[in-house]
Amino acid sequence: MAAGDVPERMQAAAFDEFGGPEMITPRILPVPQVADDEVLLKVWSAGVGVWDALERAGSLVPEGSEFPIVPGAEAAGTVAAVGEQVTNVAVGDLVYVYGYRRPKGGFYAEYAATKAQYVAKLPASVPAEHAGAMPTDALTALSGLDVLGLPAGAWVLIFGASGGQGHLAVQLAKRQGLRVIAVASRAAGVALVTRLGADLSLDGHGDLTQALAAIREVAPDGVDGVLAMAGGKTLDRLAEALRDGGVLAYPNGVQPVPRERPGATVQAYDGETGPERLQRLNELIEAGPFEVHIAEKFALGRAAEAHRRLQTSYPGRLLITVR
């Protein structure tokens, strides 16, 4: 194993039983050891997502996890050590990771071990201080756009566009040459997606008859695809703008599930990772400045507070800053 100066113990946030946010407490734990195909990450920041809350509650626990469990599925930081088989990154590289499987614990910690295949070098266009909140949503948004499979110039309606996955989907869609109608949440959300390049920005809390009229004005034949980050009556109404033969895609976990539409395909998807996906994501990101919008930052010792904030409404993402 090639390694930098790594301590034996580290600060982390962990829980000993499943339950509410109060279960997550500050801890001192051993730094995990890396196998031949793993990387030890010196964590700078970790994203806080609904998937972390599900892990804490006991319904989405990575296989092989043992108490105390350190949550956290995504992070950014520097490589502190690499196993003997690792060739894609080296000690000192600035990287990001979506750790799909993490039996040695997640990223709410000063150090974390992860498979090298989940790690990619961070493009210069992403601010390093915010990058920990990018990987899961960016990869999931890319999967959603792949499900739609739209050609350059096509119209896509992104519902929930000011949320964590939505605001990244807006940027990735524009990089693919798509024309974007972004349905965001309230004035702050509309301002965010407009700044990120949406061709038409709408408030999902506004007059839906006016919104549909505005959509039909720019896309008189209907939109070619809908990417839905949330479900419900507002989505059902705005999805009337989807043309015959169009596709509505939504990430698994959206509730209520978007209803079937005559003449359209409705399809769920999951985020996928791996070397090829990470390379493709990086190629899109490197096309220009890429914003990961952070609603609020929390110190590692305030992880329980971050999980309570998850239960409220906010644009973009929540972030734990470790260093």
pLDDT at 200: 98
What pLDDT is stored for residue 207 in this prediction?
A: 95
pLDDT band at 2 (very low <50, low <70, confident <90, very high): low
pLDDT at 156: 98
Alpha carbon 31 to its chain's center: 26
- Secondary structure class of 179 (helix, strand, coil): strand
Calculate mean pLDDT across residues 142-159: 98
Residues in the chain: 323
Q: What is the mean pLDDT of residues 29-49?
A: 98
pLDDT mean over 242-253:
96
**Would you state the pLDDT for residue 197?**
97
Q: Rounded to the nearest 5°, which phi and psi values hold at 192?
A: -65, -50
For the record, the structure tokens of 178 come out as 């798509």
Q: Mean pLDDT of all residues in the chain?
A: 96
d(CA 260, CA 240): 12
Taking only the tens place, the pLDDT of each residue in 75-129 is 999 999 999 999 999 999 999 999 988 999 999 999 999 999 999 999 999 999 9
CA distance 172 to 134: 12
From 125, 130, 105, select the one nearest 44 (Cα to Cα). Answer: 130
Specify the CATH architecture of the domain 2-134+292-321.
Alpha-Beta Complex (3.90)
* Rounded Cα gap, residues 306 and 130, in angstroms: 15
Confidence check: pLDDT of 278 > 60: yes
Tens of pLDDT, residues 160-208: 999 999 999 999 999 999 999 999 999 999 999 999 999 999 999 999 9
Domain boundaries, the chain: 2-134+292-321, 137-269
Where do runs of H (alpha helix) occur along 88-207? 135-148, 164-175, 186-195
Please give the biggest Cα pair distance in the chain: 62
Between CA 260 and CA 252 the distance in angstroms is 15
Judged against a pLDDT cut of 80, whether residue 16 lies above it is answered with yes
pLDDT at 1: 53
DSSP string, 23-36: G-EEEEEEPPPP-T
Where does residue 127 rank: exposed (0-12), middle (13-18), buried (19+ CB within 10 A)? middle
What is the pLDDT at residue 4?
59
Distance CA 111, CA 244 (A): 50
| Beta strand 111-115 pairing with 179-184 | unpaired
Q: What percent of the chain has pLDDT over 70?
A: 99
Residues 132, 292: Cα–Cα separation, whole Å: 9
* pLDDT above 90 for 3: no
Q: What is the mean pLDDT of residues 6-14?
A: 97
What pLDDT sits at residue 261?
87
**pLDDT confidence band for 5 (50 / 70 / 90):** confident
Q: Is pLDDT above 70 for 145?
A: yes
Write the DSSP string, 259-316. Answer: PP-TTSEEEEE----SHHHHHHHHHHHTTS-----EEEEEEGGGHHHHHHHTTS--SB
Q: What CATH architecture applies to the domain 137-269?
A: 3-Layer(aba) Sandwich (3.40)
Long-range CB contacts (within 8 A, 24+) of 29-33:
29/68, 29/70, 29/105, 29/109, 31/6, 31/7, 31/110, 31/111, 32/104, 32/105, 32/111, 32/112, 32/113, 33/104, 33/113
